[in-house]
Amino acid sequence: MVKRQETEARLKDCCVKDGFWSYFQELVSDVVIPYQEKILRDEIPGIEKSHAIENFRIAAGKAEGEFYGAVFQDSDLAKWLEAAAYSLQNKRDEELERRVDDVIDLIGGAQQEDGYVNTYFTIKEPEHRWQNLLDCHELYCAGHMIEAAVAYYESTGKDKFLNIMRRMADHIDRRFGPDKTRGIPGHEEIELALLRLYRATGEQRYLELSRYFIDERGTQPNYFQVEMKERSWTFWSTEAGDGTYNQSHVPVREQDKAVGHSVRAMYLYTAMADMAGETGDESLYRACLRLWENVTGRQMYVTGGIGSTVHGEAFTKDYDLPNDTVYAETCASIGLVFFTRKMLELKPSGKFADVMERCLFNGVLSGMQHDGKRFFYVNPLEVIPGLSGEQKEYKHVIPKRPQWYACACCPPNEARLLESIGKYAWGEGSDTIYSHMFLGGSYRSEMCGGMLIETESGYPWNGSVKYTVHPQENGASCTLAVHIPGWCEKYRLLVNGTEALSAEGTTAEAETAAKAADVFREDGYCYIRREWKDGDTVQVDLQMEARRVYADSAVRENQGRVCLMRGPVVYCLEQEDNGGQLWQLRIPENAQISAAEEQDPVLGRYVSLNIEGARCLSGGSLYTGERPVPSAWKIKAVPYYLWGNRSEGGMQVWTLEG
């Protein structure tokens, strides 16, 4: 039977003081959260109107007016509230807490007598509650509100919001389930939220309701086809389809390939993995493993982006990974982080930690401008001036981040993930503390009678990471497991200054130290088990070199092309540094790639890659018998997550080699 081997860290035990991630956490707390709040309050003219808070004021009887926005508009506010909760956990802010409490009062005021909370149906169509689960996102909005309520309770200890959403969860539980009204969400989210609520309250009914929504999905007759026949009104859809779009085509335990809307899929798979760990459901775990392998082995971009088509924001076919018409929604990469983190809990494995790292440093961070005030929904791997954002098939591939969206799911999703990064960096097993990613700062564990681990990290720009251990009592015995990224071919691990493990073999001295420290490597982690003394150190030195990465030969778009990476960071070429028509550039097979640390007023501190490359130009004829002539050209690559922060222009991740 599958057993949850570790759990994510409690955010309150993590203190982030990191040369890389602290910038983003401070940006979110100081800039992004206040900026997004102003948008949610409609206080910034000239950008997409939100009306999310005003909808709650109307529903609570505090204002008059009409509902405005998407049917899922409540979820934008919910994700912002969750981000604010994590921000308050990281840095106390009495004024922000007061404003959040005011919003919570509005939500409570908008709650109906039976516990129902949803501004669209309360204001606009109360007679159609729960009649269109396919399109109308009632369970999705409830899920995000539940997640926010749990986060705020865990952050502040205040239970008003938690109790509001418990009433909503109870309302849902009275309606849906075995021997009740049949139903499943069109957009998954409630499943994982109910599991969070179960752990926060200990109420078994919430776990069982989550299990019902998971188990009922894909059973016959197809719920959405039945629902469409029985109701007398439509919202978006005129037919239910075969269920692939919302992963209801077959029962979840029979699914082995990621299909349909990529964000919905990630939220479902996250709940499935969480449920497998909570209940020991082996068949559910095996399904999760098959789905994770399909996503990351056949349908994931090098940046950690998923969902390759704009049509339905969806997966397509294995190895169909176009660079210029890609979708790769920011929320989908965030969802893959959620899913992968739950898989790590079931089996701490380097392959899971590697994907989580890939997403965080690339496909997630690229979704936000470096100043925190613009956001990408779509994350392309190639931008072509004159086509991207203009021609029909490229309309969605905009070359500049907008300030906001009518459908603004990604910006607050980005904020809530970055503010809770500590939960993804650390984990705990029965006798093991896991460091899944290098994160400067400190982590306090209850293991070994209480242990504080301080981390100094220059990652991702250099590969030196040092852990200093402070047990509550000297001689406390437990294991520290440190993830060694899969990209790293050469590394050294030192215990109290003496080499204990090395990727290139060990010396006799190192073997003696390893034996004394009980140090070994397994499945992507270095395990150090010892009786810890105050001030003991573990140091990891990773050899950080620029490297070339190639796509599987089944990915037709990238044959003959190379991607540059250094550490976990994917690089791209921008027109700003390399001139226009980037497709003319070539990276010779034998060209040396040098790294240079830079400090840019817009991009901040980063490491660039520089190559003695070539630009190939042909004559003036559209077609000719003459080969293009290469000329020397200095090529500069910058981290992908930073693209689009300077002048507008072309960009590409994959460059022709030769």
Q: Is the previous residue joined to 221 through a cis bond, with omega within 30 degrees of 0?
A: yes
The DSSP string of 243-258 is STTTT-SS-GGG--S-
Contact 329, 410 (CB under 8 A): yes
The one catalytic residue in 409, 410, 478, 563 is 409
Is 409 annotated in the active site? yes
- Angle (deg, nearest 10), helices 282-298 and 330-346: 140
The one catalytic residue in 216, 313, 329, 414 is 313
Cα gap 166→176, rounded to integer Å: 15
Tokens 């003081």, residue located:
17
Cα gap 55→146, rounded to integer Å: 18
- What is the separation of C-alpha 391 from the centre of its chain, rounded to a whole number of angstroms? 30
Backbone CA torsion sign across 332, 338, 343, 344: positive
End-to-end CA distance of the chain: 51
Cα angle 10-11-13, degrees, rounded to a multiple of 5: 75
Run of H or E residues at 453: strand 451-457
Cα gap 535→529, rounded to integer Å: 15
Cα gap 321→302, rounded to integer Å: 10
Is 313 annotated in the active site? yes
Contacts of residue 295, defined as CB under 8 A and 6 or more positions apart, other chains included, come to 258, 265, 306, 315, 336, 339
Q: Beta strands of 489-648 (E only): which ranges?
A: 491-495, 498-502, 519-522, 525-532, 536-542, 546-549, 561-566, 569-574, 585-587, 593-600, 604-617, 629-639
Residue among 503, 466, 472 at smallest CA distance from 485:
503
Question: Would you please indicate which residues are annotated as catalytic (active-site) residues?
Answer: 313, 409
